[in-house]
Structure 1
């Protein structure tokens, strides 16, 4: 064999339950192309094969002029590390070998070389005659490498074979000399049980594979679940722009950031004007930029306009060696910012990206997609990034899209089975990425219950504490609220019907479906998105229950709302203002502009990161303090807030990490009542009443939903971390994919291609 390249590692299960297929194609020069495939033994005829290796076989390679008849060679020393326990260690690294692969017998060392003796177990020895060299025997030989100091980067697996020759067949026991050549490259000389040459490998390159990578490769979803992730471009720094003769812009070259950035370009009104200039003798530009102006433009009109330019570009032979750069702004979402704001892709630009991506795949090298943020540094960075076919520039930094497995980067993958119900729950308590999507049994509905197809679910600090193992008492299932569509109603439910869009408190909302008490549901207001509706129940019910039911806040009284830029904080500020109260608020200084939008004056707003708010608000109230405190802080912040509560005041605690004793508070702060609460204590009947009252306030315009930051449920660890670090403004929501239940005709463009065929099969 002249060379062999491994496409993907193959780790056989202990019972060997796998089908293996070998294809060999001949050629006139005697070279034969070889491919090795596999798929699970129980796979049906429609399941695709996974290619594991490709290679080229050449006949007539002479046997090597060496032998290993003197065994072990003179001067070789036995390796001190015992073979016993080797396969347990390999299994811990993600390489689980069955009985056929456990034939390692003895290992010696001579200089840097390893001398290995291995044999097929008796149960498979008879199969050896059917192979040139049994693959399990050859793989077993390489296990000797694990007897040395284990590599820190993970297990080492074969990656590329070069110069493979076979001079004998049918060996069931071998002697092998492994010669390391550095950088994971080794040579092999394989002899039979008496030392006669069997095979030689000039070079075998090994590559490290982590345990996580092995798990992803052998996962049932490994071959199909990928996602796009934007990463910093591998090139360091931007190059200087080329001379002006090499660049042209279709449009006003003096606008769009070119002149301010000092990029020399020549402007043409459109592609026809550029073509006319070429007819008059102007040089053909290397790079032509087509800026997309999406203001007040319909998506279809914009895409059609770009399509016309693309067709004209391909039809003009003089542009064959040039590239057309389609320049957009905000067409792709690269990353969220430190303050929690997320990019909202421009719909027109996104449509154009979809079109030009197709053109890139059909005509490599002719088109480039670039998305900029408008900063001068970003325009200067364009020239240095044109080696990529698609990229975005933010603040002068270049980002490129790359495919990564769905199972990497903290992304959650549902359990196997497209129709199997599942939910998100805590899998490893103590860290914010310790959640997983696990199977869930669908239970029958009891009287008064409703099954909701969840489309979005609100994330609360309760969920963060639950994952971290810090919630006092039983936190129950994750996901307390959400919005979706009614799938089923139980006995005694008359207010809802299948298909109704509803919102409210749910039991286990982090999944495709959840059960709810019908009394704690309400119909979604017209015009609301599922994300908006999912952001409302807990934050507004908590604020309403705290201020109206527990504190009895009256017009003319003063109230201190902590963390006023959070979901409950924003809801409480609006409710307090509606009730006619004087509002004082705290928030981190970066979020003050958000709080000021609710009309909170400068003297009534302070930082939630220090206890200086006590002095600020004490001065503002001339030492009198406030009537009501809605608290979610801990430690010295609670003490400072209690000191701000005037006699006869009410301190309501919704936090869970520093709950005080009400009698001790009353003794230390005479006249102050203290009550810690959970909104679920209100009971289903009262929760339903409060939800109805809140919806009336929304309909009248007295309240408005809080800002929402949403993640797909697959990115839940990221959302939990974001909330746990208090980076959010308003509410954090997880979206849940809706099942596709439509009937009728579906048009799949490119249906005969690889992706199109997969989509069509999935729809069927």
Structure 2
């Protein structure tokens, strides 16, 4: 099968197209013929060595996949050959998503949402599960609450805005001014240009702040939260000092690291199929252009997601 591997850490150019043996599913796993693979910031950090999640190269990157079940191992009762599925298998262990075939535990996949093509579906698992686990599982976001999403136009942020809106929250979101129309289309009630305005000015009493950006936003967000409000971060999730300062301020702290979860995927699917959630894919590139995809992600200027197709 075709795959993208790397033999060393480095710039996007270390990614190369190569041939590898097709994997065999183990008990309770399925073999998926990959039609599309999402590209996430964690892929670029792992590739460069900034976040050596998979140890030393060689390895094959990629977790977000959408495709068709080609083989079912004993113990699998959720899927049959020919089913269209999507998911984020094995994270944070190797999944090898930048390849024509992957194996995955059946309970880490869900049926592809109706109305999405494979490229759109591959854009959803990691970013969508991150947003869902942050807002719903960690923060317990409820209808009528007020939430601020830092980085509302990004891969995770644009889905978080829609999930918050779908749950009946009043949504504030930060992004550069050029992306404010996009945020309003997603359902944001209030947009803040972080390049021109201090988001803390005049903003108080929020129930939830969801930080997808970092750079000190978590600490700066504490004054805008009500007593008992939740600061949820995916960038400073291992920061005991921030956790202590949040607790001292009378707020709740939650550092979220996304987990594979078919229940969460099915919740996202329901939102998609009822018209409340839509992943935005800015660039679709062939597998062979994985290096270009990584370079685009590293600009930190794209809206939504970038996806590779096979």
After TM superposition, the score normalised by the length of structure 1 is 0.38
Residue 576 of structure 1 and its aligned partner are, at CA, apart by 0.7
Q: Report the equivalent of 2:218.
A: 638
Question: Is the Cα contact below 8 Å between 1:611 and 1:636 reproduced in 2?
Answer: no
Matched, 1:505 2:88: yes
Name the CA distance, whole Å, in 1 between partners of 2:268 and 2:24.
31
Q: Report the equivalent of 2:258.
A: 679
Question: Is the Cα contact below 8 Å between 2:165 and 2:188 reproduced in 1?
Answer: no
Question: Is the Cα contact below 8 Å between 2:161 and 2:187 reproduced in 1?
Answer: no
Residue 582 of structure 1 and its aligned partner are, at CA, apart by 1.2
Matched, 1:479 2:59: no
Matched, 1:549 2:137: yes
Question: Is the Cα contact below 8 Å between 1:540 and 1:571 reproduced in 2?
Answer: yes
SS at structure 1 position matched to 2:183:
helix
1:12-31 matched pairs, under 5 angstroms: none
Q: Report the equivalent of 1:488.
A: 71
Question: Is the Cα contact below 8 Å between 2:114 and 2:273 reproduced in 1?
Answer: no
Residue 605 of structure 1 and its aligned partner are, at CA, apart by 1.2
Distance 1:500 1:563, change over 3 A: same
Q: Report the equivalent of 1:709.
A: 283
Relative contact order: is structure 1 or structure 2 higher (C-alpha 8 Å, sep ≥ 6)?
2
1:93-104 matched pairs, under 5 angstroms: none
Residue 674 of structure 1 and its aligned partner are, at CA, apart by 1.7
RMSD: 2.2
SS at structure 2 position matched to 1:528:
coil
Q: Report the equivalent of 2:12.
A: 432
Q: Report the equivalent of 1:520.
A: 108
Matched, 1:462 2:42: yes
Deviation sequence 1:382-407 (CA, Å, 0-9, x none): xxxxxxxxxxxxxxxxxxxxxxxxxx
Name the CA distance, whole Å, in 1 between partners of 2:14 and 2:53.
19
Name the CA distance, whole Å, in 1 between partners of 2:200 and 2:60.
37
Name the CA distance, whole Å, in 2 between partners of 1:714 and 1:473.
23
SS at structure 1 position matched to 2:182:
helix
Name the CA distance, whole Å, in 1 between partners of 2:148 and 2:17.
39
SS at structure 1 position matched to 2:97:
coil
Q: Report the equivalent of 1:755.
A: none
Matched, 1:607 2:155: no
Q: Report the equivalent of 1:699.
A: 273
Distance 1:659 1:532, change over 3 A: same
Distance 1:643 1:429, change over 3 A: farther
Name the CA distance, whole Å, in 1 between partners of 2:155 and 2:243.
30
1:1-80 matched pairs, under 5 angstroms: none
Matched, 1:731 2:308: no
Residue 664 of structure 1 and its aligned partner are, at CA, apart by 2.6
Name the CA distance, whole Å, in 1 between partners of 2:24 and 2:188.
49
Across the two proteins, how many residue pairs are aligned to each other? 301
Which structure: larger Rg?
1
Residue 428 of structure 1 and its aligned partner are, at CA, apart by 3.1
Residue 448 of structure 1 and its aligned partner are, at CA, apart by 0.8
Deviation sequence 1:184-243 (CA, Å, 0-9, x none): xxxxxxxxxxxxxxxxxxxxxxxxxxxxxxxxxxxxxxxxxxxxxxxxxxxxxxxxxxxx
1:142-153 matched pairs, under 5 angstroms: none
Distance 1:673 1:473, change over 3 A: farther
Question: Is the Cα contact below 8 Å between 1:424 and 1:438 reproduced in 2?
Answer: yes
Matched, 1:582 2:170: yes
Residue 544 of structure 1 and its aligned partner are, at CA, apart by 1.0
Name the CA distance, whole Å, in 1 between partners of 2:115 and 2:213.
35
After TM superposition, the score normalised by the length of structure 2 is 0.89
Deviation sequence 1:433-484 (CA, Å, 0-9, x none): 2222344333432111011111100011110111121226548851111111
* Among candidates 234, 238, 258, match of residue 654 of structure 1: 234
Residue 526 of structure 1 and its aligned partner are, at CA, apart by 3.5
Distance 1:665 1:427, change over 3 A: farther
Residue 611 of structure 1 and its aligned partner are, at CA, apart by 6.7
Residue 659 of structure 1 and its aligned partner are, at CA, apart by 4.2
SS at structure 2 position matched to 1:665:
helix
Question: Is the Cα contact below 8 Å between 2:211 and 2:235 reproduced in 1?
Answer: yes
Residue 720 of structure 1 and its aligned partner are, at CA, apart by 0.7
Q: Report the equivalent of 2:264.
A: 690
